[in-house]
Amino acid sequence: MRYLLLTIIMLCSLSSFSQERVFAGRVIDKEKKEGIAYGIVKVKDRNEGVYTDENGRFSFTAIPDSVKAFIISSLGYAKREISTGAFTKDSLVIELQKESTGLKEVVFTAETGKVRRRYLGKKKLRHTSDCYQKYGEEDAVFLYADKVNKNTLKEIFVYITNEGVPDTKFRIHIYEKDPGTNLPGKELTDSNLIVHANTGNEWVKVNLASKRISVSGGVFISMEWIAGHGNNEQALTSRKHADVTNHNGQVLGLARNYGVPYMCHRSAFHTEWQSNLDYGLDPRLCPMIYGTYTYIKK
């Protein structure tokens, strides 16, 4: 009886140590003291995490012994590592410091000539398939541009279907192409570009003229499925596809025979990219994304 009692006590003790805990907090701008929307709270050394909501708040549920620290990040801010031991209160305020990205801006001088506009990728795209994903995942396509001097990205257009929940938000990224891997390399966006559709079956426009991003030769454009307390996390319901219940949010349109050879994918809270050819997917299917850029013709 005595040994049985000790065993029960030990089991109860082990059970208490394995109970889950909610790590909650708010990520804010250090100077402005305002919440940072859709920042990333990632578990250190693991491909797990959550997004902050529109006010910078987040919560992550885990067994305390399994999580040692979080990496807090957002575009335009220096990353911070926060130990789980710092979460001594119900909610922790985490400040991020703005940082200089070191991106080279396009400088306009008093050159003579006319401002011309060209397309990045192709405008006339036919919707032939759908891209169902989960929150935190990212899909990118490489779009060619002419190698002209001082060409500047002006707009990006993304086609969102009426499947799923089209008015949930997503983030746009722009990357250089890594010459060694032909995958997305250095990021050219230095702040959050958060947009959404309304009813679906529409082109969502992103104005980038103020960013002064050079696109000589071409760039990768990606769409990231974001989530937070203020965003809709309900599962998809589709009349066309019965196997989408594990996916969330808006659905990106795909075009067949877009003619762009580089399409790739990044899983949620991962750092590495993979070509869609690695997944055995049809290489002729590409995201329905295109853009415009301007240059001066003398």
- The pLDDT of residue 210 is above 80: yes
163 and 287 assigned to the same domain? yes
Least confident of 26-40, 46-60, 220-234, 282-296: 220-234
Q: Which pLDDT score is estimated for 20?
A: 84
Total domains, the chain: 2
Q: Which pLDDT score is estimated for 219?
A: 93
- The answer to whether residue 12 sits within a structural domain is no
Mean pLDDT, all residues of the chain? 83
Average pLDDT over residues 234-262: 74
Over 141-209, what HEC string results? EEEECCCCCCCEEEEEEEEECCCCCCCCEEEEEEEEECCCCCCEEEECCCCCCEEECCCCCEEEEEECH
* Last-in-domain residue among 96, 128, 154: 96
Q: Which pLDDT score is estimated for 151?
A: 87
- The pLDDT of residue 103 is above 80: no
173 and 286 assigned to the same domain? yes
Q: Which pLDDT score is estimated for 250?
A: 85
77 and 129 assigned to the same domain? no
More confident residue, 208 or 260: 208
- The answer to whether residue 192 sits within a structural domain is yes
Q: Which pLDDT score is estimated for 297?
A: 77
Q: Which of 145, 94, 134 is nearest to 233 (CA)?
A: 134
Q: Which pLDDT score is estimated for 275?
A: 85
- The pLDDT of residue 202 is above 90: yes
Least confident of 43-47, 101-105, 283-287: 101-105
Q: Which pLDDT score is estimated for 18?
A: 57
More confident residue, 255 or 114: 255
The total number of residues written for the chain in this structure: 298
74 and 175 assigned to the same domain? no
- The pLDDT of residue 37 is above 90: yes
Average pLDDT over residues 208-213: 90
8 Å CB contact between 175 and 187: yes
Strand pairing class (92-96; 21-29) = parallel
Q: Which pLDDT score is estimated for 14?
A: 45
Q: Which pLDDT score is estimated for 256?
A: 85
pLDDT in tens, 122-181: 888 999 988 888 888 999 999 988 887 678 999 999 999 988 788 888 999 999 999 999
Q: pLDDT band at 220, cuts 50/70/90? A: very high
8 Å CB contact between 142 and 262: yes
Question: Domain containing 174 — which CATH number?
Answer: 2.60.120
- Percent of the chain predicted with pLDDT > 90: 46
Q: Which pLDDT score is estimated for 8?
A: 45
Q: What one-letter code names the amino acid at 150?
A: K
43 and 126 assigned to the same domain? no
Structure pTM?
A: 0.85
139 and 92 assigned to the same domain? no
Q: Which pLDDT score is estimated for 24?
A: 93
More confident residue, 180 or 15: 180
Q: How far is CA 195 from CA 21, 171, 198, 266, 286, in A?
A: 33, 6, 10, 20, 20
83 and 166 assigned to the same domain? no
Instruction: Return d(Cα 36, Cα 40) in angstroms, integer.
Output: 10
Residue 229's domain comprises 114-297
* Last-in-domain residue among 96, 126, 154: 96
8 Å CB contact between 254 and 285: yes
- The answer to whether residue 242 sits within a structural domain is yes
